[in-house]
């Protein structure tokens, strides 16, 4: 049973506007941010893996997506069950602790990774953050063999924005949308942390046996960071789009793994940083050639 905690929290505010003298309090809503501890369970052994600050909701998808992105599982079949921890004394579910029970023994490299850390909702996962380390995991080049039109790409941002119901109420959430090559939305997840939103989306795909996400497009509501592009690459997403700018390492990551990276996707325009073969445009020379 998934978390019943609300993803929004009521708060009294005073809305101040220049030229107006009314200072009466009113009710508003802010996005809920609470810790979620992810634990691995196997053979009677339980190990704390991470604590992330997240928006309650889709917690099981978040845990599964996080584990998949970190290379600690390869498919849904690796998971025997996912559940909230139960307090032994009170026999009540602890909705901020998730146990992921594996069918096999704990990964042999888990101890060497020493993964006892806090994951902030504002920053990426600490640990293996180099491109070389990711390459050693043997991630395949994402498949995207259907070139996408400019019209399809420029329509994605409106679809994502219209689907952000919780953002309409709180104004404080990141979102990730998943689309097929025809621009139809397949899924969308929101969270106070952009990386959590991506983990929830990948976790959804994992639990639905939809990985790898061949011929799919991802759109994030903010910037394209290295960690987000990394998670997309692991999930097999070929085209990664962002409303805001990409970082230099995100561009390097996308180029190294043969992805298409798009930034500043707003209204009827965008910047194409690599993977131009998947977009229906006329270009005289590859983007990666040296500028004259």
* Domain assignments of the chain as residue spans, ordered by start: 150-278
For residue 203, CA distances in Å to 92, 130, 207 come to 25, 23, 6
Residue 148 pLDDT class (50, 70, 90 cuts)? very high
pLDDT band at residue 130 under the 50/70/90 scheme? low
Q: What is the pLDDT of residues 177-228, one digit of tens each?
A: 999 999 999 999 999 999 999 999 999 999 999 999 999 999 999 999 999 9
The more confidently predicted of residues 137 and 42 is: 42
Residue with tokens 């309650």: 56
CB 79 within 8 A of CB 104: no
Give catalytic residues, as residue numbers.
123
Specify the pTM.
0.88
Specify the pLDDT at position 10: 93
Torsion angle in degrees (nearest 10) through CA of 86, 92, 95, 100: 20
Q: Is the pLDDT of residue 45 over 50?
A: yes
Whether residue 134 has pLDDT greater than 90 = no
Q: Express each pLDDT in 92-125 by its tens digit.
A: 778 999 999 999 988 766 654 444 455 555 444 4
User: 48-52, 88-92, 258-262 — which one is most confidently predicted on average?
Assistant: 258-262
Say what the pLDDT of residue 107 is: 75
> Is residue 220 a contact partner of residue 126, using CB atoms and an 8 Å limit?
no
Q: What is the mean pLDDT of residues 3-15?
A: 82
**250 class by beta-carbon count within 10 Å (0-12 exposed, 13-18 middle, 19+ buried):** buried
Rounded Cα–Cα distance for residues 211 and 218 (Å): 14
Q: Is the pLDDT of residue 62 over 80?
A: yes
Check whether 1 has a pLDDT greater than 60: no
What local confidence, expressed as pLDDT, does residue 250 receive?
94
Tokens of 210: 């939809």
Does the pLDDT value for residue 280 go beyond 90? yes
Cα 136 to Cα 278: distance, rounded to the nearest angstrom: 26
Q: What's residue 125's pLDDT? A: 43
Distance between start and end Cα atoms, the chain? 59
Q: What residues pair up with 77 in beta bridges, in sequence order?
A: none
Question: Given this structure, which CATH class describes domain 150-278?
Answer: alpha beta
Return the structure tokens found at 125. Answer: 């996962």
Residue 77, pLDDT score: 96
Average pLDDT of the residues in 60-80: 95
220 vs 131: which has the higher pLDDT = 220
For the chain, what percent of residues have pLDDT higher than 90?
64
| Letter string b/e over residues 51-72, b meaning 16 or more CB atoms within 10 A of that residue's CB | bbbbbbbbbbbbbbbbbbbbbb
User: What is the model's pLDDT at position 120?
Assistant: 53
What does the pLDDT read at residue 126? Answer: 37
Percent of the chain predicted with pLDDT > 70: 87
């Amino acid at each position: 049973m998934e978390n019943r905690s609300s993803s929004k929290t009521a708060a009294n505010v005073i809305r101040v506007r220049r030229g107006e003298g009314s200072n009466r309090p009113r009710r508003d809503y802010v996005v809920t941010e609470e810790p979620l501890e992810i634990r691995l369970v196997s053979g009677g052994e339980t190990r704390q893996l991470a604590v992330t600050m997240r928006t309650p909701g889709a917690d099981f998808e978040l845990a599964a997506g996080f584990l998949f992105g970190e290379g600690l599982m390869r498919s849904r079949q690796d998971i025997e069950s996912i559940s909230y921890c139960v307090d032994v004394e009170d026999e009540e579910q602890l909705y901020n602790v998730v146990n992921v029970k594996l069918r096999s023994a704990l990964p042999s490299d888990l101890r060497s990774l020493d993964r006892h850390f806090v994951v902030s909702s504002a920053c990426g996962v600490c640990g293996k953050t180099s491109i070389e380390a990711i390459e050693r995991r043997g991630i395949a080049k994402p498949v995207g063999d259907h070139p996408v039109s400019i019209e399809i790409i420029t329509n994605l941002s409106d679809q994502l924005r219209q689907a952000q119901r919780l953002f309409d109420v709180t104004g404080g959430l990141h979102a990730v949308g998943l689309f097929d090559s025809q621009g139809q939305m397949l899924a969308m997840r929101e969270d106070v942390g952009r990386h959590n939103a991506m983990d929830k989306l990948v976790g959804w795909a994992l639990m639905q046996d939809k990985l790898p996400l061949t011929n799919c497009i991802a759109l994030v509501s903010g910037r394209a960071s290295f960690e987000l592009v990394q998670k997309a690459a692991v999930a097999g997403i070929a085209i990664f789009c962002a409303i805001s700018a990409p970082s230099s390492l995100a561009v390097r990551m996308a180029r190294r793994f043969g992805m298409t990276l798009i930034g500043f996707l707003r209204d009827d325009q965008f910047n194409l940083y690599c993977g131009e073969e998947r977009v229906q445009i006329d270009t005289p020379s590859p983007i990666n050639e040296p500028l004259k």
